[in-house]
Amino acid sequence: MDFINELTERVRQQIGLELTSDENFSFFQPAGNEHMVQFFYKNLSEEYWDLDMWNRHHLFLCDLPTKPDYEFVLDDDGRFATLEHSDSKQSKEVAAVMDLRDDYIVVVYYFGDSKICARINQLLKASPNLHACYLGMSIFEQVVCELEQITHLEFDFEQQSAMFSEPVNLKGTISGQPAQLIYHQYLQNHKPFFNIQSISGRISDESHGKVIFQFDGMAQVDDCRLSDFMQIVKLLFLLLRLKYKSLADKCILKWSGTEEKNYISLDGNMIEFNLNKPIEKLEGLIRYLVKGDKQLLLYGSSERISRKLWSVKSINVNSKSQIELEVSDAMVRVYLKNRTSIPLLDSIEDFIRKHIAADIENSSF
């Protein structure tokens, strides 16, 4: 049984759903209940990984921010956790299964009242051990292929006058039939400035359920068969796992060497973003990278290492994770020190996508 099939069975078990062989019904009943899946990067510090699986996941759950009326409780085998309520009324309004089996991605499946699900999800996002996965355009393009028709599109790109003399803006919300056309036109003609925040549409099944994808790793559906929705969940899981595993395997800087050799080497690849348009006021970008804003909660120092190149060392205000960069008017290079600095890479990519314009999809590492 593959990864998603096991999650599907755990979701059914939690709801108490008996599945017929052909799934000849709508899973998302009664009306008004929505199903939402949030993908998190498992942002655990080194001391967690020294523990066996059950104790690692138990400690992880103990460190999650909670409210008095609910908590996530670990299954006996340590692979899944489920939401438990002290109030029996609330237990009928929302339920959740947290899949902890993978070393990189945590999948949280919510079902019930969408407003309550969203509130619980927002609380989980506040945990330093959970980082909401960043989709980015490359993943958006692949999940859009699963839609029969795009029905809603939100995009947000706004250059800053602190970095550009004549800033470019490309922001909007499109609903209905024009959304499909606008998506393909902008993807073809304005891709560096086309930054999707949310996209939704009908999936290709007879129930015509609508699924919503958010840039911060959330998928939400209102009416479809469980098996159809889980195919989308599987695709997103595989794409995100490949992304974060590749970063962890290839881009964490480490010193290596042996006693037989008289030298040590620094292994690990940098990530380089080539900017679509040179930054006209480079000092403006440097200030964002060392002093931050609401989006980039960074604080650090900068040093000019040549006429055209700056070195930046920054730390996240909330997580205390560190990141190092080299910045010129035409590119941004990122160096990752450990796994906990990977979320900072997502934040920087999101910032570039929203405010600068870069050839992100062809970035090298």
Q: Which H or E run contains 338?
A: none
Cα–Cα distance, 69 to 236 (Å, whole number): 31
- Is 142 inside a domain boundary? no
Indicate whether 224 and 305 sit together in one domain.
no
Residues 6+ apart with CB under 8 A from 94: 83, 110, 111, 112, 113, 116, 117, 120
CA trace torsion 274, 278, 283, 285 (10° rounding): -50
In this structure, the answer to whether residues 167 and 273 fall within a common structural domain is: no
The whole-number average pLDDT for the span 121-149 is: 92
* Whether pLDDT at 174 is above 80: yes
* Same-domain status, 257 and 309: yes
pLDDT band at 274; cut points 50, 70, 90: very high
Q: Is the pLDDT of residue 179 over 90?
A: yes
Q: 15 and 107 in one domain? A: yes
SS3 73: strand
Determine the Cα–Cα distance for residues 297 and 285; give it in Å rounded to an integer.
Answer: 14
Given a contact cutoff of 8 angstroms between Cβ atoms, the answer to whether 220 and 108 are in contact is no
Q: Per the domain annotation, does 88 fall within a domain?
A: yes
Contacts of residue 195, Cβ cutoff 8 Å, sequence gap at least 6: 137, 155, 156, 157, 170, 353, 354
Query: 123 and 238 in one domain?
Result: yes
Predicted confidence (pLDDT) per residue in 217-247, tens digit: 999 987 777 778 888 999 999 999 999 999 9
End-to-end CA distance of the chain: 33
User: Per-residue pLDDT tens for 8-61?
Assistant: 889 888 877 665 443 444 455 544 457 899 999 999 988 899 999 999 999 999
Looking at the 3D structure of the chain, how many domains does it have? 3
- Measured between alpha carbons, how far is 283 from 289 in angstroms, rounded to an integer? 10
In the chain, count H helices and then E strands: 10, 18
pLDDT-derived band at 356, boundaries 50, 70, 90: very high
Same domain, 275 and 323: yes
Asked if residue 141 is part of any domain, the answer here is no
Q: Is residue 140 part of a domain?
A: no
Asked if residue 172 and residue 66 are part of one domain, the reply reads no
317 and 260 both lie in a single domain: yes
Percent of the chain at pLDDT > 70 equals: 87
Is 127 among the domain residues?
yes
Q: How far is CA 247 from CA 114, 236, 256, 343, in A?
A: 33, 17, 18, 11
What is the DSSP-derived secondary structure letter of residue 1?
-
pLDDT surpasses 60 at 256: yes
Same domain? 173 vs 239: no
Query: Distance of CA 267 to CAs 44, 256, 261, Å?
Result: 22, 7, 16
Contacts of 48 (CB under 8 A, 6+ apart): 56, 59, 60
Mean pLDDT of 173-192: 93
Buried b (16+ CB within 10 A) or exposed e, 25-38: eebbeeeebbbbbb
State whether 239 and 105 are in the same domain: yes
Residues 293 and 332 in one domain: yes
Instruction: State the residue range of the domain holding 339.
Output: 252-362
CATH number of the domain bearing residue 357: 3.30.310
Closest Cα partner for 311 from 296, 293, 332, 295? 332
263 and 314 housed in the same domain: yes
The listed range with the strongest mean pLDDT (47-51, 83-87, 111-115, 207-211) is 47-51
Cα–Cα dist 187/179, whole Å? 12
What are the two backbone dihedrals, phi and then psi, of residue 226, each rounded to the nearest 5 degrees?
A: -60, -40
Residues with Cβ within 8 Å of 347's Cβ and at least 6 positions away in sequence, in order, are: 295, 296, 297, 298, 316
